[in-house]
A and B are shown apart, each in its own frame.
Chain A
């Protein structure tokens, strides 16, 4: 395979994204990670990761287990802060602002950069309260009417409203797995985040529930920047516009999704996406 003058050719310190211009079809540069290194205690988990994430699009992070993709995504809203032995080095910016700057409140940051996890984890509260929790915490709603509206809008956006509008006072944990996951998405988007991080959001769901979430991702990306970690390459191929391949803590290759799945530049990417790893 010959070299191509793209962002995909690996340099000694991993691929560098050049400039802030968005590739065709994507929104503006939303988050920029530069030379990110991360350690859990003595063990280094990420090596010089450079990745740009663009708005109005979905970026998927793929790679074998333990490659650092989840670790990386958790850096983007400082979820790793809660792990004592975790040390992050490098520069991560949201709209040009350093999210690790001393004056940044991680709680405020996480309102802008929301997250959905692998296992649906609704609070042991009513469906209504699950969605109302964050707007209340952040003081976004002045009145009950405001709150009702936020809850309804969020549930509509998450494609769950029709199914739950008559039982908002029922516990969120009583919903099906797919519904619970959509409830978690409604909860995440209730505070109007700019970025939504999804860590294997469909791994615990059946194909129909997965399809519903994927449709949702497609709709949400119109107003949101989405980064999704997934073990399903087919899912990455279906939902994302850009795909980043991680291996052994390094970002091996990032390019538009169609290129990664039809003509990847790096042999390791090729081996991984074709099921030849070894």
Chain B
């Protein structure tokens, strides 16, 4: 690979509204995130954390500036190309788990592989393996409503890994679970990181953030690296 950076941003900005009522959610951000990095993004609410997360996750398009994911400029891609990047390169973990309520644990994981066009038999096999990895092999056919918060988040982690993404984007992954489950989830993420996966965790919990290799603080749309 030409570039060992998995994500590079160039003067990345996001504004809402038009001058003079323009709001800068993110200003002129230049980031270099390497393969295998473990990054925490911290900041108070309204600081631009979600905006940065949405941009890095290809859920939103920048107003100006560029984002390169594995060397490809994604800031000019259309919706369907972005969808392809999301399913091939990025695994999302959300604070509220965001599993599909009508599908059971196995089907939730298979769904994202389905969008990627993976053969159905292969999907089931891999989904089972992933659920085993997060210690949920006894919960394969449980629906989200039949699982605890911690269990749902572990299904979500398994889902995020389903398409072998280059980056895992976790938005407050422990925000909705008890301390013990939170610890469990963080150790799974760190285990994945040790195996070489790039992890980006967004949190305002400092204890969570300090476990990361790098901490990026964001305030009023400006990102600064914090050295710990």
Do the two chains belong together in a single complex? Answer: no
Which residues of B are at the interface with A, using a C-beta cutoff of 8 A? none
Which residues of A are at the interface with B, using a C-beta cutoff of 8 A? none
